[in-house]
A and B are shown apart, each in its own frame.
Chain A
Amino acid sequence: MTTVTGTQAGPLPATQAPAGTGRRVLRGLAHDKGAVASVTILILFILMAAGAPLLTKVTGWGPDTLNPNAINPNLGGEPLGHLGGISLAHPFGVEPDSGRDILARIAYGARVSFLIAFSATILTTTLGVVFGMLAGFFHGWVDQVISRLMDFLMAFPALIFMIAILSALPSGNRPLLLVIVLSVFGWPYLGRVIRGQALSLTERDFVAAARVSGGKTRHLVFREILPNLLSTVVVMASLSVPGFVGAEAGLSFLGVGVTPPTSSWGQMISSSLQWYSTDPLYFAIPGAFLFLTVLTLTVFGDRLRHALDAGEAA
């Protein structure tokens, strides 16, 4: 999953970001139909995730409340009624066998999905920026060590290795473990780009001017170089979020990600494997949520990059 973010984000122009850029970019996004549509859907999903406890209180069905009245024990636990047991009480139907409410499980699954994806993005971005800047700014042996480490991590068969680690680790706080493992293998893709840009920025005249006029290292790094990398960081970070959503779902699908009783979309699809021919909605609903989330996040990241490019060119 992480390769996708790595290869998509080619060399971005190291341009300066003046103060008015932020507003111009926002205005550009507001006029962009694709961006507006995807942000609207994302906000709805995030509201659903945040309001999950409230939602289950309103409907009366929690994510782990069994409902034996909604399933048919004579048919092996098949949901009663058409379309996977869709009814007023259960708008998305119920889970076969247990009769748990799918809406509640989707909402709680969204929480896990967003929590892991956003935390992994924050951690990856922090690691990538810090190590990329260190390597690009200090050259020499610091650069050598960090660059070799990045090469090494990127040569890893990350998915298989994550599976190996996650299956070996004892069950503890699974979401936290996932965030750490995803980030450890994710940061070199941003780190490498940041290193390259920092390397060329340190040679530029305005940095040299700041240096000779007595600027301290901290000033050079935070005031002169970092602001110029901001748009790269924002674009790469936002484009990595859908990758993490997909990775979490994939790992949970394989049984090494989020484990029961915590509900997650990947896990729901995995347990729908034995039911898909008789109750197709049981995989179609979490599948559609997963697809829409990844799609809207990708569109948003893409449009953001366009808006930033346009904002800087203006």
Chain B
Amino acid sequence: MLRYLAIRLLSGAGILVAICFVTFAIFFWLSPDPAVAVCGKTCTAARIEEIRHALGLGQPFLTQFWDFLRGIFAGRTYGSGADLVHCPAPCLGYSFQTSQNVWEMITQRLPVSATIAIGAALLWVLAGIVLGVISGVRENSWWDRGSLLLTLGGASIPSFVLALALQYLLVVVLQVLPFPQGVSFTADPQLWFESYLMPWVVLATGYAALYARLTRANVIDTLQENFMRTARAKGLGPVLILRRHALRPALTPITTIFGMDFAWLLGGALIVETVFGMNGLGLMTEQAIQKNDQPVIMAVTLLAAFFVVIGNLVVDILYTYLDPRVRIAAR
């Protein structure tokens, strides 16, 4: 088990460094000169040279990459002589646009994105599993057909279309909800709930549809297993069979996908936050894209990769507890 864990941790770290390297390389070779971006509109050739020197842009590629990597763990110092700027670890650089510390920008906006992501995840797991179990147990009933139609629509509607439609209907026409805003729970619980309701629903819809389908298929498969027949033959009631025997094998595979999907959420949050104008990581990234603010885009890419790697790791470890067969294989 320990050996397995060590291998998984090492490969996770390896993937992170590789993603770091690829991202850095892409920005190094493909994108426009960052010194010009930093300099802004009133700019002279001498000033560009100065910035290039301060950011260490004249250095060879590998030296720059090493400085960047070291900055994340140990912090780094920009510039020379009188105007030294120290950037404490974890240092992801400074935004070209606002000159803010990128790490601080991220930590400021993380609560909004985390609230959207966690709420949506709870919603989709709940809705998806409930819908899936109902239609799996009552296969080919009207419940099943209705939920199939619902999941098909839910899986097909692009999140930004759903977001705009909901906002138009509920906020502009019916006026039952306020325009979403990044208010904190402690400041105004009701406004908080009303603000986050639409982002949660929009982000959860596609996933809920997918989970409902998967749960349905798993439940139908499990109900046909021999041990289910044994349970029925013993005279157990349908509810007890479902609770004690069917749900665990049917839902274990869902855990794997959930870990992955949760880790991927940053991408979905990007679109939802853009439509609803909520100031989280997604909106920050969107603005960085518009202005070609490289340090911010890079930091977000790395953060997203970090979540994916961690998500994979957690799922693998969790799985060894949920599924005894994997536990034995890992030993």
Interface residues of A (CB under 8 A from B): 3-4, 7-8, 10, 152, 155-161, 163-165, 167-170, 242, 246, 249-250, 253-256, 266, 269-270, 272-273, 276-277, 280, 283-284, 287, 290-291, 294-295, 298-299
Query: Are the C-beta atoms of B301 and A164 separated by less than 8 Å?
Result: yes
Interface residues of B (CB under 8 A from A): 15, 18-19, 23, 26-27, 30-32, 152-153, 155-161, 164-165, 167-168, 172, 206, 210, 213-214, 217, 257, 260-261, 263-264, 266-268, 270-271, 274-275, 285-286, 289-290, 292, 294, 297-298, 300-301, 304-305, 307-309, 312
Query: Are the C-beta atoms of A269 and B292 separated by less than 8 Å?
Result: no
B286 — which chain A residues lie within 8 A by C-beta?
A: 254-255
Query: Are the C-beta atoms of B160 and A269 separated by less than 8 Å?
Result: yes
A sample of 10 cross-chain residue pairs with beta-carbon separation below 8 angstroms, ordered by A number, consists of: A4-B210, A7-B214, A159-B268, A160-B270, A161-B23, A170-B32, A273-B275, A276-B164, A287-B158, A295-B156
Q: Which of A8, A10, A253, A283 contacts B271 (CB 8 A)?
A: A253
Query: Are the C-beta atoms of B266 and A157 separated by less than 8 Å?
Result: yes
Which 8 A-B pairs rank lowest in CB-CB distance, beginning with the nearest? Answer: A159-B267, A157-B304, A287-B161, A295-B156, A168-B31, A160-B304, A294-B156, A164-B301
Query: Are the C-beta atoms of A157 and B305 separated by less than 8 Å?
Result: yes
Query: Are the C-beta atoms of B308 and A156 separated by less than 8 Å?
Result: yes
Q: Which of B26, B168, B257, B297 contacts A277 (CB 8 A)?
A: B168
Distance (whole angstroms) from the CB of A193 to the closest CB of chain B:
16
Query: Are the C-beta atoms of B152 and A255 separated by less than 8 Å?
Result: no
Q: Which of B164, B263, B268 contacts A283 (CB 8 A)?
A: B164
In the bound assembly, the distance between CA atoms of A153 and B18 in angstroms comes to 11
In the bound assembly, the distance between CA atoms of A171 and B300 in angstroms comes to 22
Distance (whole angstroms) from the CB of A188 to the closest CB of chain B:
13
Extra A-B contacts (10), CB below 8 Å, given A168-B30, A284-B165 = A156-B305, A159-B270, A160-B270, A161-B23, A163-B285, A168-B292, A249-B158, A250-B271, A253-B271, A291-B157
Name the prevailing secondary structure of the A interface residues.
helix
Q: Which of A8, A160, A272 contacts B210 (CB 8 A)?
A: A8
In the bound assembly, the distance between CA atoms of A159 and B274 in angstroms comes to 15
Q: Which of B26, B165, B261 contacts A3 (CB 8 A)?
A: B261
In the bound assembly, the distance between CA atoms of A156 and B305 in angstroms comes to 6
B153 — which chain A residues lie within 8 A by C-beta?
A: 295
Distance (whole angstroms) from the CB of B317 to the closest CB of chain A:
16
Distance (whole angstroms) from the CB of A161 to the closest CB of chain B:
6
Query: Are the C-beta atoms of B213 and A8 separated by less than 8 Å?
Result: yes
**Assuming A160-B267, A163-B285, is B307 touching A273 (CB within 8 A)?**
no
In the bound assembly, the distance between CA atoms of A12 and B87 in angstroms comes to 53
Query: Are the C-beta atoms of A255 and B168 separated by less than 8 Å?
Result: no
In the bound assembly, the distance between CA atoms of A270 and B164 in angstroms comes to 10
Distance (whole angstroms) from the CB of A168 to the closest CB of chain B:
4
In the bound assembly, the distance between CA atoms of A156 and B309 in angstroms comes to 9
A280 — which chain B residues lie within 8 A by C-beta?
A: 168, 172
**Assuming A8-B210, A287-B164, A295-B152, is B264 touching A167 (CB within 8 A)?**
no
A291 — which chain B residues lie within 8 A by C-beta?
A: 156-158, 161
Query: Are the C-beta atoms of B308 and A168 separated by less than 8 Å?
Result: no
